[in-house]
Amino acid sequence: MLAVLMVLTAWPLSPSLTEIITSHFYEVKVSKATIMASRTLQVVQPVSKLPPSLRCSSVCNVDLLCQVWCHEASSEECLLSDMYVMPTYRETNLGDTVMCNTKRHYDLATGAFSITATPSDPRASLRVKDNLIDGIYDRMTMNQCYLGDSSSTKPWLYLDFGEVISFRVVKLVTQSGGHRHHLNLFQGLEVRAGMEAVETPGNFSSYARVASFAGPATDFDQEVFLEAPEPVKARFISVQKMASMTIQICHLEVF
């Protein structure tokens, strides 16, 4: 959905308020083609004496849909998008990049050393595990999710950070649309963590239990927080469904 807005922001901002507005965002380069293909896109043409960066930030900051805004040096327009772009996302289409600013905070899953998982469903070959650590999710393309094979027993995914990290929360996001059947299957999840690699894929019994989600999920775009009561130190994190049947996860964060 494309909307063109004219925004008037002529009020003076104190330095402290300016710092508050801009501190909510992190710079990241993204392909303009990717941004323009957003599920929800607004092209804002604000009338203001404020610097363009602050002008766009102030609009995105109060827009509940806006997750990232971009600005071209040759244009005063602000491109506002609802897609998730993590601060450490690395754009591969370097010939078409624009500087953007994202609301998403730094996390540890983006760019993790490696991820292994139950094989993907062969009927959805593009919904692979690597989608969960690439740092971008457009919230409309199911092929940017991970879908485990429906024949799997206790499907799982397994993150290796390459070093010991400290975390407290594993956040999982359900799909943005489609069949509610997958929401009903989003249940019975358990997060465990450990220092050493497991010997048998899918057997995480040697790891300490961190948190669980009984579920099921009830909403599209639902953010499920699996939170430990206190920070956990580990090199490896597992997320496993404690029953058979598949699971679809569209976005993952660890912090």
Q: May I ask the CATH class of domain 114-254? A: mainly beta
DSSP bridge pairs for 225: 171
Return the domain boundaries, the chain. 2-102, 114-254
pLDDT tens for the chain, residues 1 to 255? 444 443 434 344 444 444 444 457 999 999 999 999 999 999 887 666 776 567 888 889 888 899 999 987 666 788 999 999 999 999 998 889 999 999 999 999 999 999 999 999 999 999 999 999 999 999 999 999 999 998 888 999 999 999 999 999 999 999 999 889 889 999 999 999 999 999 999 999 999 999 999 999 999 999 999 999 999 999 999 999 998 788 899 999 999
Helix axes of 52-62 and 15-22: crossing angle, nearest 10 degrees: 70
Kindly report the three-state secondary structure assignment for every residue of the chain: CEEEECCECCCCCCHHHHHHHHCCCEEEEEEHHHHHCCCCEEEECCECCCCHHHHHHHHHHHCCCCCEEEECCCCCCEEEECCEECCCCCCCCHHHEEEEEECCCCCCCCCCCEEEECCECHHHCCCCHHHHCCCEECCCCHHHCEEECCCCCCCEEEEEEEEEEEEEEEEEECCCCCCCHHHHCCCCEEEEEECCCCCCCCCCCCCEEEEEECCCCCCCCCEEEEEEEEEEEEEEEEEEECCCCCCEECEEEEC
- What is the Cα–Cα distance from 63 to 69, expressed in whole angstroms? 11
Q: pTM to 2 decimals?
A: 0.86
Kindly report the three-state secondary structure assignment for every residue of 152-169: CCCCEEEEEEEEEEEEEE
